[in-house]
Structure 1
Amino acid sequence: MVLGKTFDAGSIIKFLSQVSLGAVALGLAFGIASVLWLGFIFNDTIIEISLTVAVSYIAFFTAQDALEVSGVLAVMTLGMFYAAFAKTAFKGDSQQSLHHFWEMVAYIANTLIFILSGVVIADGVLQDNIHFERHGTSWGFLLLLYVFVQISRAVVVGVLYPLLRHFGYGMDIKEATVLVWSGLRGAVALSLSLSVKRASDSVQTYLKPEVGTMFVFFTGGIVFLTLILNGSTTQFLLHLLGLGKLSATKLRVLKYTQYEMLNKALEAFGDLRDDEELGPVDWVNVKKYITCLNNLEDEQAHPHDVPDKDDHVHTMNLKDTRVRLLNGMPYT
């Protein structure tokens, strides 16, 4: 429609299905092929990391240019496949090195996207200022768009709340409130708006450059407002709703775990003290410098020893059991 073409409902559904499902299938295909390839690489971190980079770029350009499906979805599917099935394919320290490498790449990419978006917005405000001089209309639309984004997210969570409440670990109304308010926008939205800006500069017959500038302006404004307003107040909302506190069951499990870890540390300390090869050692002073061995007087707390009179603790205990069950079988 933006480029002057019209489509009926069937064509739109067909197009969206091809773009989405085709991208998912392509991402899975590249994921399977690359994991099989990793099986032939033995403990070579550089080659393994280089393979993940090359496969990501090849999958994106194959999807975007050759097959005309969503390159973003293809790469996202590839990453999800890696996270689910490729952990054992990286030997030795390769997995940790891979994690640090992609963390750095993500940080650099996020920084560049934010800087580039800021430059485009500043250039639009200073040069194409006809959209920003009409009594602040664009700025008013930005605030209105921010309110609309929050309302739309609340509507989506509200519609899906019955399902979220009965599936998974069971979301309550407090968690749903945090889910609505903590919806932040970032690099993905900005990169998509930059792609619209690039398209507006290349196909000026159908899409004016001013439209691309407004896309980046509104997207950047929403990202800024969500990061400043929503991001800075989410912690306050968590404390206000009482979600930052541990339940009685979690607290008892934590104390029991700490007690067992201290016992293990004391047992290991005793084994070292009985080791004749270490020679004469002032173990009293050594123990003073080991912080975890200075406090072993706490009473042992068993995680299943819960008072019968506290119904809320039983509810949380059941919920924690469901969470552990779901975390224990993530791929079934």
Structure 2
Amino acid sequence: MPESVILSEEGIIILLLAIAIVMSIILRRVKFPYTIGLFIIGFVLAYFIAPNVSFLSPISGYVPNSDLILYIFLPPLIFESAIALNSRLLFKNIVPVLVMAIAGLVISVFVIGLLLSYLTPIPLIYLLVFGALISATDPVAVIALFKDLGVPKRLFTLVEGESLLNDASAIVTFNIIMGIVALQAYSGGASSIEEISVFFTYSLLFSFAGGIFIGSIMAFAIYGTIRASPDHPHLHQTVSLVIAYSAFLVSEAVFDLSGVVAVVAAGIIVNRMTSRRLGPAVREDLYKFWEYIGFLANSMIFLLVGITITSLGEPLIFSWGFVALAGAVIVAVAVARAVSVYGLYSVTNIIERDRSVSRSYQTVIFWGGLRGAVCLALVLSLPKEFPYRDMIAAFTVVVVVFTIIVQGTTTGPLIRFFKLQRPDNVLEFERLWLSVRSANESRKALLGMKDKGYIPADTLDSASSEYDTAVKDLREKFADFWRDCPGGDSIRELFWIKAIEHEQECYRRMYDAGLVSPGVLERLLYDADTRVDKIQSEGIYPSGTRYYSPVLKIGARFKKDISPLFGKLYAGDRKEELLDELFLMYAVSVSASETRDWVLDVADETGSGRTIIDPVVEEYGRMHESAKAGFRSLADSSPGAVNSFYDYLVSGIAISGAKKMLFDMKEEGFFDEKDIEAEISRLRREESRAREKVKEF
């Protein structure tokens, strides 16, 4: 990469960061979409302000090197999305995601090219170049809106999953078509359709498969780091940053594979490894670090997109003829997106009848397909002498501006039209609930100070009575809420989802304490995620059905099929499976009991009606009893395994308590950090020995 990409643009980047900080505060206060606001600010800054302010003059007419976007900002942006994505939901929806990301993009490229070939004098091959670069979706603004509005997790996963892989498909397809253009220019003739099709298919599949391989290899670098130093968050953050960039650079620059796919694969694997191997505090530090990196990259990219639009748009002549052509380009891109979305989802709905994607989801996916940084980076990478470059750049500017400004600002109303957002009565319920919990905790804190004598009793009593009054007022508001609530469906859904999230948190705590194995945790979280998905997407509430990952089902069936062939070698696996069942039954029994009690506490705080909470309480009571019965059945058939399990449980609880105390002491700085780390390492070794010993029954 040229030195000027980093050094000569250093001042502009620092200036843009300062602008991003100020605008972040302003845009959040006025509740305007952050990324769309930055795009507008970038455009206004470059077009209206910079030419008239001397120290801002470098921004006017500034065009970033395409490598700055593709090699500096894109890898961390992709990695941040991949590491935060729910991989269990992604793999549950992998069929529509892959179909849209690959087949959908190819259809979009050819539909755009064919439609515009009838409207412009540009040869089809160059229009396919435009189709490839403009088909890269960038729904960052829409994803942020999804989070704010609380759309169903499945819709979130479908949009973000497609976007991650769509960028990879677009870049690979763009490079393939550019290669065909170069080949035709060199050979002086046209290749046959058959040759082009074979070349395209082979290149796309090879690039994707190779990217997955490179990304996976790079991701495993963090495994060694975690084993060598499990309690150093800065080290994990640095290694993950190196993985994000190295996966992209090695794939793209060394092996000519898909760097985006490599980064996606690396991000998903790092997510799974860190969720299994890191403690809760260190894991949270890593995710917060990547949230910051994502914020940084998004801020810079959308400011640069707004600034770059002004430079790319300068050669345009705004005549009525151009306006008509611009409208035709927007329509062609929209038609291509509609054909791929509605057409392909109709096919996947036939393939997966029990997991069909609704028309409302499809419409939001269609309209939320914004274009942004990747499109501009690809058009900037076109050589100056490339035929029709200015016209392709003009088309790109038109589509990017339209999708960000028009589609980006109207996606929210579209979501509300289809009632996919969190309902108003749910928002009101949550607001009142949080206020009640806050007042109750404040009152408890004051009561806890009474016996210490630091504050006069009458002062504490006066303050406590104020909170008593506040709680009473809030309970009256809750009574009004239940009286005016138009229906209980949305509140019932909220109770179910919050209960399942609490259940998942119980599983995670037990795992962090070493009381649940990674495989058992995976089964439990997959089941819980599926129940949430069923509620949000299909309105099906839990009724005793358990859901298991298809991958785990295949693995279990494979082991069962080969067990007669290997006899003694498989005996160890059978022991491990038995222990996993014990751990699973224990985890479900404990979490179901805790969740049932939690739901009853929430109902008491909020005055919720029995018709809403009874089904939730009954389901968790049934889960608790069923798990206890399953545990007893295993105990009767395998007493040795149960005794071994109890020994491990006692050891795990003791070690977990000691580790928590040591981590607290480390934070407070009471003892020498090296001594504390040595003791933590000793406890980890003891934990590992206990894990091995539990299998000796």
TM-score by length of 2: 0.38
User: Residue deviations 1:101-127, cap 9 Å, x none?
Assistant: 43343344334444545555444444x
Is 2:446–2:464's contact at 8 Å kept on the other side of the alignment?
Answer: no
In structure 2, relative to structure 1, the CA distance for the partners of 1:172 and 1:60 (3 Å cut) is closer
- Structure-2 residue corresponding to 1:193: 379
Cα pair 1:184 1:226 within 8 Å, conserved: yes
Mapping of residues 40-55 of structure 1, within 5 Å: 40-55=228-243
Instruction: Work out the CA distance in 2 between the residues paired with 1:219 and 1:107.
Output: 25
Matched residue of 1:191: which SS?
A: helix
Equivalent of 1:283 in 461, 481, 488: 461
Secondary structure, in 3 states, of the residue corresponding to 1:183?
coil
Does the alignment pair 1:14 with 2:220? no
Whether 2:161 is the aligned partner of 1:2: answer no
User: Is it true that 1:272 corresponds to 2:458 in the alignment?
Assistant: no
The structure whose residues are more often helix, as a share, is 2
Give the paired residue count. 312
Contact 1:193 1:216 in 2 (8 A): yes
CA distance in 2, matches of 1:151, 1:290: 60
Query: Match of 2:294?
Result: 106
Q: 1:245 to 1:72 in 2, by over 3 A?
A: closer
The 3 A distance-change label for structure 1 pair 163 and 278 is farther
**Matched residue SS, 1:4:** helix
Please give the alpha-carbon distance, in whole angstroms, between the structure 2 residues aligned to 1:161 and 1:247.
Answer: 32
- Give the equivalent residue in structure 1 for 2:395: 218
The aligned residue for residue 68 of structure 2 is none
Q: Are positions 1:153 and 2:325 aligned together? A: no
Question: How much has 1:23 moved relative to structure 2?
Answer: 0.5
Partners of 1:275 and 1:10 in 2: how far apart?
A: 81
Shift of the alpha carbon at 1:69? Answer: 0.3
Matched AA of 1:325:
R
- Picking from 512, 521, 531, the partner of 1:325 is 531
Residue number among 167, 175, 178 corresponding to 2:364 in the alignment: 178
Cα 1:140/1:103, change in 2 over 3 Å: farther
Distance in 1 separating the partners of 2:308 and 2:438? 56
Q: Deviation string for 1:306-331 (max 9, x for gaps)?
A: xxxx9988x979x9799661569789
State the SS of the aligned residue for 2:475. Answer: coil
Q: Offset of 1:187 from its aligned partner?
A: 2.5
- What letter corresponds to residue 328 of structure 2 in structure 1? L
Given that 1:19 and 1:68 are in contact with CA atoms closer than 8 Å, whether structure 2 keeps it comes out as yes
Q: Distance in 1 between matches of 2:272 and 2:231?
A: 20
Distance 1:221 1:232 in 2: 16
Matched, 1:230 2:416: no
Q: Quick one: distance in 2 between partners of 1:233 and 1:125?
A: 24
- Decide which structure has the larger Cα Rg and report it: 2
Query: How does 1:35-114 map onto structure 2 within 5 Å?
Result: 35-91=223-279, 93-114=281-302
Q: Distance in 1 between matches of 2:433 and 2:353?
A: 30
Distance 1:124 1:172, change over 3 A: closer
Q: Distance in 2 between matches of 1:291 and 1:85?
A: 49
**Structure 2: runs of 5 or more not aligned:** 1-179, 185-190, 501-527, 534-546, 553-697
Q: 1:325 to 1:242 in 2, by over 3 A?
A: closer
- Secondary structure, aligned partner of 2:182: coil
Answer whether contact 2:249 2:259 (CA < 8 A) is retained. yes
Deviation, 1:71, is 0.9
**1:239–1:125 CA distance, 2 compared to 1 (3 A):** closer
- Report the residue type matching 1:158 in the other structure: Y
Return the offset for 1:70: 0.8
Question: For residues 282-302 of structure 1, what are the alpha-carbon distances to aligned partners after superposition, in whole Å with 9 as ceiling and x for unaligned?
Answer: 234235258973423546x99
Match of 2:212, SS state, is helix
Instruction: Report how far residue 13 of structure 1 moved.
Output: 1.3
Which residue identity is paired with 1:105?
I
Instruction: Indicate the percent of aligned positions where both proteins have the same amino acid.
Output: 19
Name the CA shift for 1:166/1:278 in 2 (closer, same or farther; >3 Å). Answer: farther
1:24 match? 212
Out of 290-299 and 1-10, give the one that drifted further: 290-299
Q: Deviations over 1:133-168 (max 9, x none)?
A: 494655543322222232233223323146458455
Q: Could you say what secondary structure the match of 2:183 adopts?
A: coil
Distance 1:16 1:324, change over 3 A: closer
Q: Mind listing any 5+ residue stretches in structure 1 that lack a counterpart?
A: 303-309
Question: Aligned equivalents of 2:361 and 2:338: distance in 1?
Answer: 12
Which one-letter code corresponds to 1:285 in the other structure? A
Query: Separation in 1 of the partners of 2:368 and 2:309?
Result: 25
Which residue identity lines up with residue 379 of structure 2 in the other structure? S
Relative distance call for 1:124 and 1:312 in structure 2 (3 A) is closer
- The offset of 1:49, in angstroms, is 1.6
Tell me the secondary structure at the aligned position of residue 24 of structure 1: helix
Deviation at 1:192, TM superposition (A): 3.2
Whichever residue aligns with residue 3 of structure 1, its letter is A
User: CA separation in 1, counterparts of 2:260 and 2:440?
Assistant: 48
CA distance in 2, matches of 1:253, 1:122: 46
Mapped partners of 2:256, 2:334: distance in 1:
32
Distance 1:40 1:214, change over 3 A: farther
SS in 2 for 1:2: helix
